[in-house]
Structures are given as C-alpha cells and as structure tokens.
Amino acid sequence: MTSTLKISSLTKRFDGVAALTDVSLTVAPGQRVALLGHNGAGKSTMMKIILGLIPATSGKVEVLGAAPGSAGARAGVAYLPENAAFHPALTGEEQLRHYLRLRGESPSQALSLLGRVGLGHAARRRIGTYSKGMRQRVGLAQALIGHPKLLVLDEPTSGLDPVSRRDFYALLDGLAAEGASILLSSHALTEVEARTDRILILARGRLVAEGTLADLRRVAALPVAMTVTARNGYANTLAEALPGARIDAAGLLHLTCAQESKLSMLARIADFGTKVADIDVVPPSLEDIYSHFSQREGQ
C-alpha cells in the first residue's frame, strides 16, 4: 500500500537549535496516528514541514508522493490548528461558504459539510454564539473541504469537555474508515490511547518510540501491577507470602511484577484458592509508557 506520508531522516535546525533530528516514519491510508511529546519536542515543527510552511534542514518528506507545499500535496492535505479562529459575526454556513469559494469549490456544499460534523442545526447561528467544541467542528468542516487524504490536527481536542472530545474522535473514526489518514498531536494521553492506531513519541526532536500501544508496552517492558482482594482475615497471610505486596487502607493488596513473570505470579496467587476473592491485573498505561520513553531522553 502506498504511504500517505513518508518521512526519512528528517532534521530541522533553527539557528543552532535542533528541533528535529533524524526522524523517519510512514503513515498509511486510513491510519490514525498520535504524535506525543513534551512542550518543545518538535511536534509543531514536524507539522509545519509536512504542510510545506517551513523547509527541512535535511532529509526527505513525501506527502501523497509529492513534495510538501507542492500543488499535489496541498490538494490532499488539510490542517486544523489548536485554536481555530473564525469571524464571530458570520454564521457557520457563511464562514464555510467563504472557505469553499476561496478553495474554488461550490459554496452549496456548506450545509452538507456542517451536517457531517454535527453542526447542521447551528448552521444559521453566528459563530460568536458557538461553544469551543462547536468552533473546533467548524474547523474540521473547513478541513474536510476537497476530501483531504491527510488531516494534520494540532491538539484538536484541547479545551474540549469529555463529551465533545468523544464526539470529535467519533468524527475522526468515520473519516479514517473512509480512508483518510490522521496525524494529530495531543497532550491528552488517555483519549489518544483509546482512539488512535499508532503512537509516535518525540523527545527533544528525536522519535524515541513508535508503534501500537501493544508494541510500546512490549518495548518499554514496564512492570505489571496487580490488585488482590483477600477473603476476610487472609490479607496478612497473602501479604507475607507475596514478595513486595503492600496492603492499603481498604485492605486490598498491591504488588507489581515483571511482564515475563505475570503468569507465574498469577499461578502463585491462585494457589491460595479460596483465600483469594479477586485479582485485577493492570497493564502499564500510556502515561506510564510515555514517561518511560520521555524520561529516558532526560525529560
């Protein structure tokens, strides 16, 4: 399958500051990819290069097989900035008609685009009365003009409430299912964990981890946490027999073990038979994995 985005050995320096160093990655059609990284890690710089707004210092970037910023690339790429701003006095429909005209498309598509992002009901209201989530949807509707094959979204859900975030990701899921690739940056790890196919972690301009959450979990090899509920009166017996186990105020036992000893630890706990009421196994979260890779790079 041809990649929507292909980046090879990308390096970008600003007056001696290395914003990106030797970054290589590909994004396939229909993939939802999260770009994570601390402030100043290089996420916006990478997006600007993909959009053709600034040149790379070295390396190669291909967007839909074309150079960033070329007519071929621009025709298939859409960008949504973190805080999309619109004219507050215009209605959603008027704003969209304006963008459609600028892009040489028929303004008559405005209502169907707004309907697609769930704003059909508010199309004739002034944007000044919209909530932040609604304004982000106007931004997404604008980004959808011309059926882009790659959507570049800079922290698209920052400042949105949980329901608006969930709705926004549902929209992205639909677009990805139709074959659009999505590259989004975010600091909200929990939502990214559930709603993207691949995760890229940048630290100080280097791509320090890349893959599915399962891939990253395997590479990070972080300990697995277990919570054991003992039957009445047996918490201390279990805690004495299980290395490193600690009892919390509610009487639950907490312990951790290496990934590879998970099954033997479970078998050991199961040997206690009816003294054990329940076991929860908690794999490392994306937050744990993210700190692991970022800290390795001194963050």
Ligand X SMILES: Nc1ncnc2c1ncn2[C@@H]1O[C@H](COP(=O)(O)OP(=O)(O)OP(=O)(O)O)[C@@H](O)[C@H]1O
Q: Residue numbers of the site for ligand X (CB under 6 A)? A: 14, 17, 19, 37, 39-45
The 10 Å Cβ neighbour count of residue 260 is 9
Closer of 39 and 232 to ligand X (Cβ): 39
Q: In the sheet that 150-154 helps form, which strands lie side by side, from edge to edge?
A: 77-80, 150-154, 181-185, 32-37, 198-203, 206-211
Closer of 46 and 96 to ligand X (Cβ): 46
Give the shortest CB-177-to-ligand X separation in angstroms: 28
Q: Are 141 and 86 in contact (CB under 8 A)?
A: no
Give the shortest CB-201-to-ligand X separation in angstroms: 11
The 10 Å Cβ neighbour count of residue 94 is 17
Question: From CA 183, how far away is CA 196, in angstroms rounded?
Answer: 9
Give the shortest CB-151-to-ligand X separation in angstroms: 17
Helix (H, G, I), strand (E, B) or coil at 200: strand
Closer of 42 and 68 to ligand X (Cβ): 42
Give the shortest CB-47-to-ligand X separation in angstroms: 8
Give the shortest CB-127-to-ligand X separation in angstroms: 25
Give the shortest CB-198-to-ligand X separation in angstroms: 18
Of 274, 240, 245, residue with least CA distance to 257: 245
Closer of 91 and 294 to ligand X (Cβ): 294
Closer of 44 and 142 to ligand X (Cβ): 44
Of 269, 202, 285, residue with least CA distance to 234: 269
Closer of 271 and 287 to ligand X (Cβ): 287
Q: Are 107 and 179 in contact (CB under 8 A)?
A: no
